[in-house]
Structure 1
């Protein structure tokens, strides 16, 4: 339960926000910070998030205020759950909808048996190569900076763990999924790798984060709801 008093935000609170599509995590943090300053008169307040969500993803974003920002590292390490859709038969350079389709592949050979065989391959401890369109630094630059200049870069794989991978609905070329995974997992790379394993291609067309540790999207507020609540608190204090 959020306490909307200025003192409570300074002391430290963990906010569960349902980040909208097309917003960056940084924009969501800035919006919260701006509201705390404008509505509650907090001239100086620490605000940070515990794990980035891409602008093309929606869902659970944990935002910490005040002294709770000290918990960010611990929260970032929690197991995460995502739902989304992979479109097979086509790839994009970014592994999602940020870039246009660059190649298409056949999907007629994809059967229920092949899908199940591939699904099982993506459970456990894996080595994953992050997408070239990511914020990881290489030679002092973000990978996406290299990508946008057309520069070829060698990207090392990273160890990740997939605790659960379900294909919740299959209506080719679309595969809906639910994935539970460790920190550092790129779902875009997972979509691409699943496409490869299906002897086709694949890219992510939608993504939603539904859980971080014990925190769930069902308990999250939209930015509009948070703004309404904090303005109501500010009005009460003025009265």
Structure 2
């Protein structure tokens, strides 16, 4: 089976648990996902099967959309509700206006320090493994982009909460944004709920719950064709001779008014299937990855 699934991951399990479930249901080992969701989080998890796993690098960078809730006044070691509370501070004085002003500081291109409880690797080991051993390493800030960050509503109290929607680049830790907002507010904060509502054109409304996938037939019937999974990329159907050159690793001269320098292009075959992914570095189109799916 070659294709992509839009799975609604439930809260309380890991993204790898979803992959294990799909492997058991489908009987297929070659399955991967295009962007981890924390155990606390639910929502869209794009899973690729068979030859479509080769498309992960072109799906993963898509803009992520989330809806969630931040609780102010408590800081946790994981920056979300799954962690241990480290500090408690009075937060009843916070207002909606103050929280919205703080949120404005996170819109645009910013630098974010990844959390210790993350799957990032340092010297071959995942940071969360080191964190569980009580170790804390210095992490270099990484650039991220927040395209939209809206505080929807605010519930005052001893530990006030704020519901929000955010659109951000791949690699953004939303729980770190919650944590950092708490630091700016001077009271601490952590994420208590998160739903990923979209990954690019993969929408939550079109996702299927994990329990839907019970056997190979239910998996096969839900597969999105590879060509549709990368519909955000421009397509090009070359002449047979040019296609053969690309499939054998050679460059071809090509151009299109919709292409931008450095962009990836889906090169298709006669049956409208993906032959390969190429990159346009004018005036040449250079093969990057053969797909044949």
Query: Which TM-score applies when normalising by structure 1?
Result: 0.86
1:150 & 1:232 partners in 2: Cα distance? Answer: 41
Checking the alignment, whether the CA contact within 8 Å between 2:112 and 2:143 is kept in structure 1 is yes
1:186 & 1:18 partners in 2: Cα distance? Answer: 19
1:90 aligns with: 74
Structure 1 residue 189, shift from structure 2 partner: 0.5
Matched position secondary structure for 1:35: helix
1:33 & 1:229 partners in 2: Cα distance? Answer: 9
Whose Rg is larger?
2
1:31 & 1:112 partners in 2: Cα distance? Answer: 41
The runs of 5 or more residues in structure 1 that have no matched partner are 1-8, 38-43, 235-239
1:230 aligns with: 217
Report the aligned-residue RMSD: 1.9
Higher helix share: 1
Query: Which TM-score applies when normalising by structure 2?
Result: 0.70
1:103 aligns with: 87
Q: How many residues are matched?
A: 218
Aligned match of 1:192 in 158, 176, 179?
Answer: 179
Matched position secondary structure for 1:102: strand
1:45 & 1:120 partners in 2: Cα distance? Answer: 44
Aligned match of 1:169 in 153, 171, 181?
Answer: 153
Checking the alignment, whether the CA contact within 8 Å between 2:146 and 2:166 is kept in structure 1 is yes
Q: Are residues 1:201 and 2:188 paired?
A: yes
Higher strand share: 2
In the superposition, relative to structure 1, how do residues 231 and 155 fare at CA in structure 2: closer, same or farther (>3 Å)?
Answer: closer
1:178 & 1:29 partners in 2: Cα distance? Answer: 27
1:65 aligns with: 49
Higher normalized contact order (CA 8 Å, seq sep 6+, divided by chain length): 1
2:257 aligns with: none
2:93 & 2:75 partners in 1: Cα distance? Answer: 17
2:5 aligns with: 15
2:130 aligns with: 146
The runs of 5 or more residues in structure 2 that have no matched partner are 222-293
**Runs of 4+ that moved beyond 4 A:** 231-234
1:46 aligns with: 30
